[in-house]
Structure 1
Amino acid sequence: MRRKRCCRLLLKLALLLASLWMLSILGSPKMGWNPSSSVRYGWLHYTDEDDNPEKVCNCSAILQGERDMLEQAKLLTITKDFRKRVNIPDEFYTSATKDCRKFKSSRKYITFPLSQEEEDFPLAYSMVVHHKVQNFERLLRAIYAPQNIYCVHVDKKASASVLSAITSIISCFPNIFLASRSESVVYASWSRVQADLNCMADLFNASATWKYFINLCGQDFPLKTNLEMVRALRSLNGANSLESEKMPKNKMWRVEKVHQIVDGHMKDVGKPKDPAPFNLSILSGNAYIVVTRAYVQSVLEDKRVQALIDWAADTYSPDEFLWATIQRIPGIPGSTWTNTKYDMSDINAIARLVKWEWHEGARASADAVYPECHGTHVRAICVYGAGDLQWMLEQHHLFANKFDTDLDSVAVYCLEKYLRQKALAALQ
């Protein structure tokens, strides 16, 4: 009896050791993992056999702009039954992440570096979220790599189900954490900047190895693989990439008048502001940036930046000028001169691709910056549809905004499938 029990225990131990050995091979390129073997990473592919409602769409045809397939995708997105099927409730994530190993496997997270080049160039992400957990999780999966580090800021006003779901997802990954301090974010107020500042400080203190900082919101999505991002960032040679232009006259009121939160909205309280400290020129930009670790250190420690932050706290939409202004302060790592010859538009910067409604139009139009939106508009910003994908993938930007799986999940599905196949193809 003892011999049988002993044999069973030895057999279990042998199976456990064999499993751990296999995991070490699959999970670590440095221990014999062979990237040329499709058998080893085939399970990471998004295929037509995956249990996704969007699989009825021909993504290859959609990405090539074939009209019939685009019309089919458009019809799907307005079908009530389809929209119901693609929706994943917050509670799913809370339940599914009780078994983290199964969750990461079933959702096909890439849990090992795909190349030495990527492993040697880790990135830091700030992710500011307040709703739409499904959008957040699909974004996270698309950008996740074990060598990177991620700070997630969940709005204080977020519902209990949103906070629970995101906290549960984060708990499955050692390199993802919640921001140490949460803000109640009000549109166009300082709180939006403070959310990113909280994550900047947390990321800076958490790791000394990451090279670039990228800030995201829950409705962003990548246009490049992690390897493509690494190569694009290396090519910057220590420079930052963000919109930074002369402030238009019709926006100067944002920094010339004191604004405060009144009844949940930013209001002009009728008090003029003093000029910016150190005679700094206030530049126009946006909330999304791609900057070096040294730039982040300056944001946290440079006295001129700290004075600018204090001054900007009661302005309107400071996220649309703060980073752009810091980028032109002499001596800031990766910065450029204040002269207008160094102005950079959002089209030239690689940080974010956004379609504003008033800049859309036909290519022949002298006023058009990009083609018309194939999705819908929210606050004059295009929420992308599947018909936008072909044009988007021709651009040099790392990320695009906005996506919404509630409005067009096909656009997200085809984009994430394209990026995954491209990332894995690079291994061969």
Structure 2
Amino acid sequence: MYTFGKEADKTGELTSKYSDLTLICDNFANESASKLLVNWSSLERHRFNAKTLDYISSATCEKYFAEHLHFNERESVNDLEREFPIAFGILVYHNFDQVEQLLRLIYRKNNFYCFHVDEGADKEFKYMMQWLVDCFPENVFVASNPVDITWGDVSILKAVLQCMENLLARSDKWKYYVHLTGEEFLLVTNLELVTSLKNLKGANLVEGTSLKPNMDRYPEQLPYDLKKYKSSSHIVLSHEAVEFVLKSQISKTIFGALHDYNSPEESFFAVLQFNQKNCFPENVFVASNPVDITWGDVSILKAVLQCMENLMARSDKRKYYVHLTGEEFLLVTNSLKNLKGANLVEAED
């Protein structure tokens, strides 16, 4: 794996003037485990910063691309990936080399990448991050209005929402939002990720449990009588769900209710996800402006037209409209494709 300050020689072996591997092995053979950990920690903190900063100070983006082939569009990127763009929100605050390698791993020209750079990060890291994203002006950027993150309070959730907002403003083409931090590496390819997300068919990936949630993370009663749920901060949301998070009054009310409690990023999305009746929209919903139906008059037609209107507003991708009542059961599988655009309407003289 290529890292700053290391180059591959003709045999493909990694060489480095800092002899990192020798240092680690010598410590392992001759020093105590605690000494090894101290030395490794020190090595990790200081190994790349000075060298990387020197590199960036003199390198152009063209030079960077020439020396880091992973950023070139690969032949292996297929139409499925190009037609299914993903938005990544990534929280970072240190270790530029690791962040750069993460971007190297997940970068595709059709995806979008928002890096929330902690306001409390050191100025050298901020400088290097800005240099990196400036080489990708079309789809990689630093979040606007960054917050100074304190782990455990609402600042983490604010950072996540800031990237969501910026990604929505940047493009309406992406299909899913994926949350990461600069400490993580994806263990799947972009194609595998696209295939998995496509199979979700608009659903979200949010962990959740209602079993003995940490009570210090919630008010005594949530608004709308919603049930309390706990999750991790790792989420995958559909484009539609992200819009709901940022724009709905329900979401804003829940954010306010959790604002002053511990780790709201681990409860906010779970509360929305698992209280489906009132929260995240899926492909099942109640019609707006329902009418009081009287059988035999125009109210039935009004009810049908109301559902049609709501369905058209929800998505323009549906191929056919099928009308049913709660008294009926379908006894066939989907065969509408065979109609080839024709309609099924009974008629009597």
Per-residue deviation, 1:140: 1.2
Structure richer in strand, relative to its length:
1
Q: Could you report, residue by residue, the CA deviation over 1:267-317 in whole angstroms, capped at 9, with x for unpaired residues? A: xxxxxxx52111111201011101100010000111111110111111111
The alpha-carbon distance between structure 1 residues 75 and 332, as it changes in their structure 2 partners (threshold 3 A), is: same
TM-score normalised by structure 2 residue count: 0.67
1:297 corresponds in structure 2 to 243
Decide which structure has the larger Cα Rg and report it.
Answer: 2
Task: Give the match's secondary structure for 2:90.
Answer: strand
Task: Give the match's secondary structure for 1:185.
Answer: coil
Task: Give the match's secondary structure for 2:193.
Answer: helix
2:94 corresponds in structure 1 to 131
The alpha-carbon distance between structure 1 residues 327 and 150, as it changes in their structure 2 partners (threshold 3 A), is: same
Matched AA of 1:159: D
Matched, 1:214 2:214: no
Task: Give the match's secondary structure for 1:283.
Answer: coil
TM-score normalised by structure 1 residue count: 0.55
Q: Could you report, residue by residue, the CA deviation over 1:142-170 in whole angstroms, capped at 9, with x for unpaired residues? A: 11111100111111111111111111111
2:283, 2:61 → 1: CA distance? Answer: 41
Per-residue deviation, 1:111: 2.8
The alpha-carbon distance between structure 1 residues 107 and 84, as it changes in their structure 2 partners (threshold 3 A), is: farther
Matched AA of 2:52: F
Per-residue deviation, 1:51: 4.5
Matched AA of 1:142: L
How many percent of aligned residue pairs carry the same amino acid?
Answer: 27
From 88, 95, 98, the equivalent of 2:48 is 88
Q: Could you report, residue by residue, the CA deviation over 1:290-348 in whole angstroms, capped at 9, with x for unpaired residues? A: 11000100001111111101111111110111111111232523499xxxxxxxxxxxx
Conservation of the 8 A alpha-carbon contact between 2:217 and 2:258:
no
The alpha-carbon distance between structure 1 residues 179 and 335, as it changes in their structure 2 partners (threshold 3 A), is: farther
1:280 corresponds in structure 2 to 226
1:277, 1:224 → 2: CA distance? Answer: 38
Task: Give the match's secondary structure for 2:113.
Answer: strand
Structure 2: 5+ residue stretches without partners: 1-10, 285-349
Task: Give the match's secondary structure for 1:215.
Answer: strand
Matched AA of 1:103: Y
Paired residues, what number?
Answer: 261
Matched, 1:246 2:228: no
Matched, 1:255 2:255: no
From 61, 85, 89, the equivalent of 1:100 is 61
1:21 corresponds in structure 2 to none
Per-residue deviation, 1:105: 2.6
Structure 1: 5+ residue stretches without partners: 1-46, 58-70, 257-273, 337-428
State the 4+ residue runs in structure 1 displaced beyond 6 angstroms. Answer: 52-57, 71-74
Q: Following superposition of structure 1 onto structure 2, how do residues 16-415 of structure 1 map, counting pairs within 5 Å?
A: 48-51=12-15, 75=28, 78=36, 84=43, 87-89=47-49, 92-93=52-53, 95-96=55-56, 98-112=59-73, 114-174=77-137, 175-249=139-213, 251-256=214-219, 275-329=221-275, 330=277, 332-334=280-282
1:161, 1:54 → 2: CA distance? Answer: 22
2:197, 2:25 → 1: CA distance? Answer: 37
1:137, 1:315 → 2: CA distance? Answer: 33
Q: RMSD over aligned Cα, in angstroms?
A: 3.3
The alpha-carbon distance between structure 1 residues 160 and 246, as it changes in their structure 2 partners (threshold 3 A), is: same
1:49, 1:231 → 2: CA distance? Answer: 34
2:264, 2:185 → 1: CA distance? Answer: 23
Per-residue deviation, 1:110: 2.8
Conservation of the 8 A alpha-carbon contact between 1:128 and 1:153:
yes
Matched AA of 1:332: F
The alpha-carbon distance between structure 1 residues 95 and 120, as it changes in their structure 2 partners (threshold 3 A), is: same
Conservation of the 8 A alpha-carbon contact between 1:214 and 1:291:
yes
Conservation of the 8 A alpha-carbon contact between 1:155 and 1:185:
yes
2:121, 2:20 → 1: CA distance? Answer: 34
1:234, 1:208 → 2: CA distance? Answer: 17
Conservation of the 8 A alpha-carbon contact between 1:246 and 1:284:
yes
